Amino acid sequence: MKENKILFIAYLYPPVAGVGLPGVQRTVRFIRYLNRAEKYVLTLRTDLYPEYFSLDNKLSLPISRETIIRTGSADIFKVLLKGKNFFRSLLKRDKVSDLPDTESKQNDLPEEKSDVVEKSRFTRIKDMISDLLTFPDYAYSWIVPAVYEGIKAVRTYEIDVIVATGMPWSSLMIAYFIKLFTGKKLVVDFRDPWVGNPYHDEKSVLEKGLKKTCESLVVHKADLIIANTDALKEQMDARYPELKARIMVLPNGYDAEDFKDIPETRLPQEKFVISHAGFLYLKRDPVSVLKAIEIIKEKYPDFSSVIQFHHIGNINLDYDVEKYCRKKGIQENVILAGQMGHKKCLGYLAASDVLLIIQPGTKSQIPSKLYEYIYLDKPVLAVTEKDSALGRLLAAYRFGEAFEPDEHEEIAAFLCNLAENKRKKETIRPSYSHKEKFDARRIISEFEERLNRL
């Protein structure tokens, strides 16, 4: 069988780590496990990544004989900001990315109502202009150079198929334009919902409309559309019923390669440790678990000093978690381990008793960390709606338990029950009879079969 020549459009690629790691892992698995393909990766030049992406991914490149094409960026927005004062005042805003804001603003003095209204109008106008110039996301400045280099790569290497993964959605827009100019087959991979994503604020009606328009343009131009959950596919089926036959599901899955040589971590055996790995921000708030620990301290004295919640990663919430814990008297039950490398983090999770996912307020998303939890054979505690994609998956495969965000009593009882099992030296591991379904090798082989039918 003839090998396909595939150009991957992936803004996130090693050495990116930290908050960009889930996106990196998705592309790496395509590269690693697509067997019958000659692979090319179009990505950003390493020195141009924004500062919120750490660059300590130790994965050696190339991964599987892929050719890596790194491009520059063309940031028109920054050029205008450096211009005359008029442009600076018109365009400057607090945030131009989809990542959580890290600053809080407070006014020192109250303003007159008329001044506030007038400022609000001006702010809305300048934010609308900023939205247009920085659309669709933080990778906007990559679009023009990547389209140019992508078209050149398609012609130079005689590419057969373009595969773009998002977010950032700029990758999908780049692939759309390359398809327009070259006519090659196009595959678009949705790792998250673009339209209606509860974790990405839509700053204006204009931006909301642009998202819908651009998503529609991209999916109608695509020959194959990938959703990473069944729930996301259902949403897209409903939005584009005429495209149902082109939409397939490819979950993130786990990759056994990630778990090679993970360091051993020693946690106190007398403790019952619930660990969470990842960024806490917006809706990803551990307050449900913190309130459950408060209940344990009050109602389950046998476990009040035994149960500990450990968080691995950064925090950007609208309150101070350490202060909250001190105020509630649970500071000894909560350990903030901070940011750590991926391998070290996996070792930490492997030593824990229960692994936590916080994913309320979205029906279609499943965090990629779930599949790492599954590989580690640990029971999963999920704070999410029971009818969400995550809740449904846990119920279907018995990987753990899902609790609504307000079920503090139920979470407390669940944790104490497992802690009692550990004390009695009884197993607390779930039944993972369908674990192999989420092996990355199997998932990518399904994609390869579909790709060859194009």
In a domain, 107, yes or no: no
Task: Give residue-wise pLDDT tens across range 273-308.
Answer: 999 999 999 899 999 999 999 999 999 999 999 999
Do 226 and 183 lie in one domain? The reply is yes
Do 308 and 245 lie in one domain? The reply is no
Domain that holds residue 182: 4-75+138-253+439-452
Do 173 and 58 lie in one domain? The reply is yes
Task: Give residue-wise pLDDT tens across range 223-240.
Answer: 999 999 999 999 999 999
Q: CA separation (Å) from 383 to 77, 269, 357, 398, 420?
A: 39, 25, 6, 15, 21
In a domain, 115, yes or no: no
Do 443 and 420 lie in one domain? The reply is no
Residue 145 pLDDT: 96
Task: Count structural domains, the chain.
Answer: 2
Task: Give residue-wise pLDDT tens across range 93-135.
Answer: 544 444 544 333 333 333 344 444 455 665 666 666 666 667 8
Residue 129 pLDDT: 63
Long-range contacts of 392-395 (CB under 8 A, 24+ apart): 392/230, 392/231, 393/229, 393/366
* 67-71/224-227 β-pairing: unpaired
Do 232 and 361 lie in one domain? The reply is no
Q: Using CA atoms, how far apart are residues 353 and 423, in angstroms rounded to an integer?
A: 12
In a domain, 128, yes or no: no
Instruction: Work out the mean pLDDT of the chain and round it to a whole number.
Output: 87
Do 218 and 180 lie in one domain? The reply is yes
Do 142 and 231 lie in one domain? The reply is yes
Helix, coil or strand: residue 30: helix
Do 232 and 289 lie in one domain? The reply is no
Residue 291 pLDDT: 97
SS3 content of the chain, % helix, strand, coil (to 5): 45, 15, 40
H or E element at residue 295: helix 287-299
Model confidence at 454, in pLDDT bands (50, 70, 90)?
Answer: confident
Task: Give the sign of the dihedral formed by CA 88, CA 90, CA 94, CA 98.
Answer: negative
Do 373 and 445 lie in one domain? The reply is no
Identify the CATH number of the domain in which residue 382 sits. Answer: 3.40.50.2000
Task: Give residue-wise pLDDT tens across range 395-409.
Answer: 888 888 999 999 999
**Nearest partner of 262 among 356, 338, 376, 371, judged by Cα:** 376
- Beta-carbon contacts of 177 under 8 Å, excluding residues fewer than 6 positions away, are 143, 147, 150
In a domain, 102, yes or no: no
Helix, coil or strand: residue 450: helix
